[in-house]
Amino acid sequence: MKDGVRACRGLDENELRQIKRLSKMCNEADGIKIKLNGDMLRERSRSEINDFLYYDQGELIGFIGIYSFISTEVEISGMVHPDYRRGGVFSRLVAAATEECRRRGVPRLVFICQHGSASGAAFLTALGAEFLYSEFRMEMQKYNGPQIELIAASGMEIQLRKAQWEDSELLVKLNMSGFNMQEQDARAYVEKSLGGRHEQTLIAELGQIPIGKISYELDEGEAFIYGFCVLSAYRGKGLGRAMLSQTIQILQQHDPDALSGGRATGRLDDRANGGVNGKLDDRANDKGNARVNARYNTRSNAKLDARLSTRISLEVETANEGALGLYLACGFQVINRNDYYVLMREIKGRQEIL
Question: What residues form DSSP beta bridges with 255?
Answer: none
Gap between the Cα atoms of 112 and 117, Å rounded:
11
Which of these, 354, 323, 335, lies nearest to 240 by C-alpha position? Answer: 323
CATH topology for the 138-336 domain: Aminopeptidase (3.40.630)
Indicate the pLDDT class of residue 150, thresholds 50, 70 and 90: very low
79-83, 184-188, 301-305: least confident range:
301-305
pLDDT tens column, 299-328: 333 343 445 567 899 999 999 998 899 899
- What are 106-143's pLDDT values in tens digits? 999 999 998 978 888 889 999 999 999 999 999 998 76
pLDDT at 143: 62
Q: Is the pLDDT of residue 186 over 80?
A: yes
Return the pLDDT at 309: 66
Contact 63, 78 (CB under 8 A): yes
Provide φ and ψ at 315, rounded to 5°: -130, 150
CATH number of the domain located at residue range(s) 4-136+341-352 in this protein: 3.40.630.30
Looking at residue 119, its pLDDT comes to 81
Would you state the pLDDT for residue 1? 67
* 193-204 per-position pLDDT tens digit: 887 777 899 999
Q: Which of 4-18, 281-295, 300-314, 340-354 has the lowest mean pLDDT?
A: 281-295
- pLDDT for the residue numbered 44: 92
Lowest-pLDDT range of 99-103, 114-118, 157-161: 114-118
Q: Answer whether residue 24 shows pLDDT above 90.
A: yes
Predicted pLDDT at 156: 59
Is residue 71 packed enough to be buried (19+ CB in 10 Å), middle (13-18) or exposed (0-12)? middle
Check residues 46 and 155 and name the one with the higher pLDDT.
Answer: 46
pTM of the model: 0.77
Pick 158 or 12 by higher pLDDT.
Answer: 12
Q: What percent of the chain has pLDDT over 90?
A: 49
Q: How do the domains of the chain map onto residue ranges?
A: 4-136+341-352, 138-336
Mean pLDDT of 235-262: 76
Asked if the domains 4-136+341-352 and 138-336 are classified in one and the same CATH topology, the answer is: yes
Give me the pLDDT at residue 147, please.
46
Long-range CB contacts (< 8 A, 24+ apart) of 114-122?
A: 114/30, 114/32, 114/33, 114/34, 114/336, 114/337, 114/338, 114/339, 115/336, 115/337, 115/338, 115/339, 116/32, 116/337, 117/30, 117/32, 119/85, 121/339, 121/341
CB atoms within 10 A of CB 161: 17
Least confident stretch, 10-19, 203-212, 221-230, 245-254 = 245-254
